[in-house]
């Protein structure tokens, strides 16, 4: 298993059978950890991919044609949820709604700093908790920027 916020699995990616989207390799440990019991009974140990397409209900698929959909996963998958209150950091509970509230309240968000502190202390488990099996820091950083820009536009548009 890769270290948290280190490199992701290096298996070659294939296309999601439902959406045709290029899959992202994901470690079998991530898939095992996040499948509900009913889906875990169907799991093969072949290579698995994550489907990042927001409109697609498939979360994981394997080389043998098996698919695991949103209902098969224990947690909401942020890429597949409506924008606004999505979970971004599965280890420490950072959400879009909490980041927005922090920006509204203080004009800044310390979410990235908090997560970096946890990473430095060796507390993250992104390789298992994040459905993509990779570090969330880039997603959180992008979300802070996106929400900050949205709030700035909203403030600019106010009469």
pLDDT at 108: 95
pLDDT at 156: 65
**Average pLDDT, 10 consecutive residues per value, the chain (159 residues):** 50 84 96 97 96 97 95 96 93 96 96 97 95 96 95 74
Indicate the pTM of the whole model: 0.86
Give the Cβ contact number of residue 124 at 10 Å. 24
pLDDT at 155: 74
pLDDT at 8: 45
pLDDT at 12: 53
pLDDT at 10: 43
pLDDT at 159: 56
Third-level CATH fold of 24-72: N-terminal domain of TfIIb (2.20.25)
For the chain, give every domain's residue range: 24-72, 78-157
pLDDT at 91: 96
Give CB contacts under 8 A, 24+ apart, made by 30-37.
Answer: 30/127, 30/128, 30/130, 30/131, 30/132, 30/133, 31/60, 31/68, 33/128, 33/129, 34/73, 34/74, 34/75, 34/131, 35/60, 35/68, 35/72, 35/73, 35/74, 36/71, 36/72, 36/73, 36/74
137: left (phi over 0), alpha (psi -120 to 50) or beta: alpha
């Amino acid at each position: 298993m890769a270290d948290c916020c280190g490199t992701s699995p290096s298996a070659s990616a294939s296309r999601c059978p439902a959406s045709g989207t290029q899959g992202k390799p994901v470690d079998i440990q991530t898939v095992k950890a996040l499948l509900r019991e009913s889906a875990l009974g169907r799991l093969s140990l072949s290579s698995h991919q994550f489907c990042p397409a927001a409109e697609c209900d498939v979360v994981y698929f394997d080389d043998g044609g098996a698919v695991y959909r949103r209902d098969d996963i224990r947690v909401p998958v942020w890429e597949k949820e409506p924008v606004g209150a999505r979970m971004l950091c599965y280890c420490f509970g950072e959400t879009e709604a909490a980041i927005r509230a922090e920006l509204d309240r203080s004009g800044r968000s310390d979410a990235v700093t908090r997560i970096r502190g946890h990473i430095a202390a060796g507390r993250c488990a992104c390789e298992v908790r994040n459905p993509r099996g990779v570090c969330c820091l880039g997603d959180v950083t992008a979300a802070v920027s996106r929400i900050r820009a949205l709030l700035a536009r909203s403030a600019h548009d106010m009469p």
